[in-house]
Homo-oligomer: A and B are copies of this chain.
Amino acid sequence: MPMPIPGFTGGLLDRADALRHDPVALSAKLDWRARLLKLDGLVPDVEDGRLAWTSIADLPEEAEVILLGLDAQDRAHVAALLPASGEGTTPAMRSPALMTMLATLEPGEAATYAAARSVLDWHARHRFCARCGSTTHLFRAGWGRQCDACYTEHFPRVDPVVIMIAEHDGRALLGRGKGWPDGRYSALAGFLEPGESVEEAVAREIHEEAGVRVSNVRYVASQPWPFPSSLMIACTGVAEDDAITLDTNELEDAMWVPRDLVRAVLAGEPGPFVAPPPYAIAHTLLSVWAAEGR
């Protein structure tokens, strides 16, 4: 099976890194042709499956510009960073309505939104210098902040997360987190920590959450996940045995699901669980795994 395209990938804008380092050239691009992403807070305006844009003339006077990139016609596409307010200082939530809207976006459109959302949200939560506590200012066309006092440069975070299924005897280990939608089961996941590889993080997380030891960890796919700014790294691992010891602080339940039942659920047939949504890489991961061993 060809690899399904993971959600939030396939963005069409050229990030134009060189422009971030060249204020004069950037300024020349911010002319009447430049397009401003329409946002209400961090919620996009979606029309017929596409993000809505307006003229950069609509940029609020007090806003700063974040360069998202150039389109095929060399037009700058930007997002507006508004001054600090009470909002946005904690990670912005994703509402069911937002997720439904994102599911309607064409491939690539969600990717553009993901980049904009992650960077805007990072600015909102990183107005101060972690090294000395002073104020900072935006630089590099929005792809960093610099301290006003000690000049330390800070860059947007991307937090790597491993997301994986253990497999044993043709079955996949799926888990269920607290507060998830009724019946939803998915791949286990957790943040990768300093000092470990992807493969080590996968083995540690499966053992911590389900008490299962895995080896032969295999990379499958990746996606950005803009809630707030993760890199999801999807893998499989082969379990030594199928005894589950649940960490009830992390999971409400976990179970082994045979491949044919995973296939059936992904095909929309009834089964023992509700699948993760198509834009989540857990869906990609399960699809790839389910198609194997045919």
Contacts and interface: CB of A to CB of B under 8 A. Distances in A.
The complex is assembled from copies of this chain, and their number is: 2
Contacts of A17: 208
A8 to B, nearest CB: 7
Interface residues of A, number: 63
B233 A191 contact: no
Best-buried of A117, A130, A134 by chain B (most CB within 10 Å): A130
Contact of A133 (B8, B133, B192): B133
A11 B195 contact: yes
Contacts of A104: none
A174 interface: no
A36 interface: no
Interface in A57-112: 89-90, 111-112
Interface stretch (A149-157, A164-172, A259-267, A272-280): A149-157
B122 A195 contact: no
A158 to B, nearest CB: 6
Interface in A1-39: 6, 8-9, 11, 15, 17-18, 21
A200 B192 CA distance: 20
Task: Kindly name the residue among A150, A195, A197, A208 whose own CB sees the greatest number of chain B CB atoms within 10 A.
Answer: A195
A194 interface: yes
A229 interface: yes
A193 B157 contact: no
Interface string A30-54: 0000000000000000000000000
Given A9-B200, A160-B231, A194-B224, A126 B115 contact: no
A116 B195 contact: yes
A168 to B, nearest CB: 22
A279 to B, nearest CB: 13
Interface in A239-255: 247, 249
Contact of A194 (B6, B118, B195): B118
Contacts of A115: 193-196
A291 interface: no
Interface in A191-209: 191-200, 204, 208
A135 interface: yes
B135 A131 contact: no
Contacts of A191: 155, 158
29 contacts: A8-B195, A8-B197, A9-B197, A9-B200, A11-B195, A15-B193, A17-B208, A18-B247, A89-B131, A114-B194, A115-B194, A116-B195, A118-B195, A119-B194, A125-B152, A126-B131, A128-B128, A128-B132, A129-B133, A130-B130, A130-B154, A133-B135, A155-B191, A156-B194, A157-B157, A158-B191, A158-B192, A160-B231, A198-B231
